[in-house]
Amino acid sequence: MKKLGMGLVGPGFIAAHHLDAVRRLGDVEIVGIAGSSPESTRKRARELGVAKAYASYHELLADPAIQVVHNTTPNHLHRDVSLAALRAGKHVVSDKPLAGTTDEARELYEAARVAGVAHVVTFNYRGYPLVQQARAMIAKGQIGPAVFVHGCYLQDWLTDERAYSWRLDPKRGGASSALGDIGSHWCDLAEHVTGARIVSVLADLHTAVPTREAPATSTKAFASAAKSAARRKVKITSEDLASVLLRFDNGARGCVTVGQVLPGHKNDLRLEVSGRLASVAWRQEQPNDLWVGHHAQPNTVLTRDPALLDPAGRGYAHLPAGHPEAWADAFRNLIADAYAWIRQGGTADTRPDALPTFADGYRNSLVIDAMLKSHAAGGVWQHIEDPLGTSRKKGKRG
């Protein structure tokens, strides 16, 4: 099998995980990377073990050896890089959010459809075996009609006022912080697992740390909170806490809590779906267990064991029972699905069921935007328009 050529734009924090996942596939050649400047790109290429450093992403896109582009730039650059890649006829794997605004997200979705190439957004929590197990159980009616969908995504990396990131700068990270950064993952996961769509929201947002002491020159995604001689005061306008009530198109109700200033919570994503017959709950920090709750019989815990999983989940489990699989493995599963789709031409009818596309990225931006509008209006229900017809009754989306 001929190896596909891959290039990456934006070799920051998450880039190493993209490269690791691609290397684990074994049938993809990492051709080169492009960064913010030729000098920094050459340095980063050496660190990441990549042979070629391009002077710009335009030079990378012009290389015929590259068929697939991974866009891991800061949020405000997603639109320009992905759009240029699509117009160059490249398949695109983009970090979330798809773009900085809903208008840009729709533009990219439309451009991807016109280009006729594979277009993927890295909502990587879909790649866990027990996430797919829960999805299969719900789809097969094993928990009955869903009535309540709830959970959280809690972190503590912004607890100290000296912690700072470009994600907190609206010009680079967008209008939302906690919701856009991690709440987006939870919302995508909730919709994917349930097969239902969030149709209206009521949001309460808060900024617990309104002023931060940012490093004078740092541009890192996760800047250290350590003391530094050169720091500057920065007023924070985006939320670091959010509580949101939800309504789904299947009649289910729900709620989610999101925060990045909560001591002790490192990457605490939890999702529970309660149906009329049973409940299922999954926690990202304990990813090899799926809790199943019952009313008139004992509750159970399904441990990740390929022999016990539904076929939909079994394909994402690569080790025998008792051998934990976690975040990097789930990320690899998503990238594997992406390249499987690419090899089959990137058409709507060949997309793996669990793979998130630019349609999902655009829809997700509409959900987060509705939460921001709900809060800005004083905490009122905000309806989410569905311009792409992404209702669960519409079937597969490309």
Q: What is the pLDDT of residues 134-162, one digit of tens each?
A: 999 999 999 999 999 999 999 999 999 99
Average pLDDT of the segment spanning 363-369: 97
**In 3D, which of 311, 333, 165 has the Cα closest to residue 234?**
165
pLDDT band at 397; cut points 50, 70, 90: very low
Euclidean distance between CA atoms 288 and 282, whole angstroms = 9
Mean pLDDT computed over 206-225: 78
pLDDT band for position 216 (50/70/90)?
Answer: confident
Q: What is the structure's pLDDT at 352?
A: 97
pLDDT category, 230, cuts 50, 70, 90? Answer: confident
Per-residue pLDDT at 388: 75
pLDDT digits (tens, 9 = 90+) for 53-95: 999 999 999 999 999 999 999 999 999 999 999 999 999 999 9
Domain covering 145-275+357-383 in this structure, CATH number: 3.30.360.10
The pLDDT assigned to 215 comes to 87
Q: In what order do the strands lie in the sheet with 119-121?
A: 52-54, 28-34, 4-9, 68-71, 91-94, 119-121
Question: Distance of CA 282 to CAs 155, 278, 323, Å?
Answer: 17, 14, 18
| pTM for the whole structure | 0.94
Where do you find CATH 3.30.360.10 in the chain?
145-275+357-383
Percent of the chain with pLDDT over 90: 91
Please say whether the beta carbons of 272 and 279 come within 8 A. Answer: yes
Instruction: Find how far residue 397's CA is from the centre of its chain.
Output: 17
Q: Pairing mode, if any, of strands 253-259 and 231-235?
A: unpaired
Q: What is the predicted pLDDT for the residue at 218?
A: 57
> Distance between CA atoms of 33 and 96, rounded to whole angstroms?
19
pLDDT of residue 154: 98
pLDDT tens sequence across 326-355? 999 999 999 999 999 999 999 999 999 999
- What's the whole-number mean pLDDT along residues 28-48? 97
Nearest Cα neighbor of 251 from 150, 147, 151, 149 is: 147
CATH number of the domain located at residue range(s) 4-117 in this protein:
3.40.50.720
Range(s) for CATH 3.40.50.720 in the chain? 4-117
What letter does residue 357 receive in the DSSP assignment? B
Give whole-number Cα distances, 343 to 1, 170, 225, in Å.
Answer: 10, 37, 44
* Predicted pLDDT at 387: 75
Q: Where are the beta strands (DSSP E) in the chain?
A: 4-9, 28-34, 52-54, 68-71, 91-94, 119-121, 146-154, 198-206, 211-215, 231-235, 241-248, 253-259, 268-275, 279-283, 289-293, 300-303, 382-383
> pLDDT class for 225, splitting at 50, 70, 90?
low
Residues 6+ apart with CB under 8 A from 334: 21, 120, 122, 123, 124, 126, 127, 354, 355, 356
Mean pLDDT of the chain: 94
Residue 106 has pLDDT above 90, yes or no: yes
CA 114 to CA 139: how far, in whole Å?
31
Give, as one character, the DSSP assignment of residue 64.
T
What is the C-alpha to C-alpha distance for residues 197 and 218, in angstroms, rounded to an integer?
39
Which residues does 286 contact at the CB level (< 8 Å), separation at least 6?
none
pLDDT over threshold 70, residue 223: no
> What pLDDT is stored for residue 391 in this prediction?
47
Q: Phi-psi region for residue 63, left (φ > 0), alpha (ψ -120 to 50) or beta?
A: beta
Q: Identify whether the C-beta of residue 243 lies closer than 8 Å to the C-beta of residue 204.
A: yes
Show the tokens assigned to 294: 């019952």
| Percent with pLDDT over 70 in the chain | 94
